Amino acid sequence: MNCTYRLANKVELADQSSPYRPEQPWFLPPHRRIETIYEAIADGVTCEGGRMILITGGAGYIGAHVALQWLGNGEDVVILDNLCNSQRAAIERISTLAGKRPEFIQGDVRNRRLLDNLLRDYPIDAVVHCAGLKAVGESVREPLRYFDTNVGGSLTLCQAMAQAGVFHLVFSSSATVYGDCATLPINENCATGQPTNPYGMSKLMSENIMKSVASSDPRWSIGLLRYFNPIGAHPSGLLGEAPTSTPNNLLPYLLEVASGQRAQLSVFGNDYPTPDGTGIRDYLHVVDLALGHVCALGALRDRHGVSIWNLGTGRGYSVLEVVSAFEQVTGIKIPLRIEARRPGDIARCWADPQKALEELGWQASRSLHSMLADAWRWQCNQLGQVDVRQAN
């Protein structure tokens, strides 16, 4: 499709138009959909019902689940990803699961010309910006690359969107922007802290850019989604996190120990002021997280300025609780070694998710057991194993 579009009409669709499929319960039945009808003005072609959502980083772990939600809800999706931390196979898997192909453009979110063309050639009316680099340790070693990609990418994207007249943006932010928050649970009014690493700083800087952009022009509606600790995989076992190097995060590392790729799990500190001495985090299922994006964009359509939502469950689990739950779910014993605290780690972190519930109607519903069972199913599928013990 190589034409430009102008907004022709907006039609509110009735509830029964929802493409919710009970046999695929991971798809959210949208309670309300606004369909936007575009008209091609450059070449006389009329493209009806052509609203599309651009998902940057849509081949990655979270972006792929987000893309799947939208496709499953009958929406059209364009994915932009340079595949620096993902594979084209993810696009095939998304298509298989959704029964519908996203448009895929392999390219860099910092490429302004590419973004201009993309926003001109597709009837995109909203963007979910997941593209970015996310390894905390790597960001300490290569801060310039992190600022360039994460801050530069956000900046270029906002510039291109403003020029194209696209003002709805959902941003993948992180609870890391709170730093070591003095009060728990963490709500959106907690001051953003001083992130201890360039990755965290890059998220806070991107948030600040977006806040300034939104204050400069009332047409902007931006949702900053502060994710807590997303884990798990699609229940089909076909989509999940695929680290390309040694994992830094707890769950991907644990999965590699469970599947015999690593000898043991290091527990970083058992002397924290927590009941068992190990760090506590708010783990949430990646499918719940993806649903949060759909709800957030729905809410942004009636809002202006910047809205901030925590996406977490509101409940924390310690490292040892996660390991124990994993052992129960899979029947696999995980060899552990207690080590020193990891620099920069905090003792406890969990969300107050009330604002997302009140304003978005979103609530994480999947249990820790589901997160672990789904993650293990994905891991077994990747390794070509068939026996996923008790993973249900």
Catalytic residues: 199
Rounded CA gap, 358 and 312, in Å?
A: 14
Residue 32: count of CB within 10 angstroms of its CB? 12
Q: Which option in ligand WQD, ligand NAD, none does residue 82 bind, with CB closer than 5 to 8 A by kind? A: ligand NAD
* Structure token pair of residue 212: 């300034």
Residues 6+ apart with CB under 8 A from 312: 175, 227, 228, 229, 282, 284, 350, 351, 353, 364
Which one among 69, 85, 221, 379 touches ligand NAD, defined by CB under 6 A? 85
For residue 5, which phi and psi values (nearest 5 degrees)? -135, 155
119 binds ligand NAD per the rule CB under 6 A: no
**Nearer to ligand NAD by C-beta: 62 or 360?**
62
Q: Which option in ligand WQD, ligand NAD, none does residue 319 bind, with CB closer than 5 to 8 A by kind? A: ligand WQD
- Using CB atoms, what's the residue nearest to ligand WQD? 279
Which one among 53, 109, 238, 356 touches ligand NAD, defined by CB under 6 A? 109
Residues 6+ apart with CB under 8 A from 355: 187, 188, 308, 309, 310
C-alpha count within 13 angstroms, C-beta hemisphere, residue 90 = 30
Which one among 33, 65, 134, 348 touches ligand WQD, defined by CB under 6 A? 134
187 binds ligand WQD per the rule CB under 6 A: no
270 binds ligand WQD per the rule CB under 6 A: no
Rounded CA gap, 304 and 167, in Å?
A: 9
Q: Are the CB atoms for 278 and 318 separated by under 8 Å? A: yes
Q: Which option in ligand WQD, ligand NAD, none does residue 62 bind, with CB closer than 5 to 8 A by kind? A: ligand NAD
Residue entry with tokens 């022009």: 217
**Nearer to ligand NAD by C-beta: 40 or 368?**
368
Q: Which option in ligand NAD, ligand WQD, none does residue 57 bind, with CB closer than 5 to 8 A by kind? A: ligand NAD
229 binds ligand WQD per the rule CB under 6 A: yes
Q: Which option in ligand NAD, ligand WQD, none does residue 267 bind, with CB closer than 5 to 8 A by kind? A: ligand WQD
Residues 6+ apart with CB under 8 A from 142: none
**Nearer to ligand NAD by C-beta: 59 or 98?**
59
**Nearer to ligand NAD by C-beta: 139 or 330?**
139
Q: Which stretch, 80-88, 187-195, 211-219, 315-323, contacts ligand NAD (CB under 6 A)?
A: 80-88
Counted residue by residue, the chain has a size of 392
Binding track, positions 224-253, relative to ligand NAD; x by CB under 6 A: ---x--x-----------------------
Residues 6+ apart with CB under 8 A from 372: 231, 232, 251, 322, 325, 326, 329, 330
CA angle 10, 33, 59 (to 5 degrees): 105
Closest CB 133 distance from ligand NAD, rounded Å: 6
Which one among 172, 192, 307, 318 touches ligand NAD, defined by CB under 6 A? 172
Within positions 237 to 256, which residues make up the interface with ligand WQD, using CB under 6 A?
Answer: 248-250, 253
For residue 57, which phi and psi values (nearest 5 degrees)? 70, 25
8 binds ligand NAD per the rule CB under 6 A: no
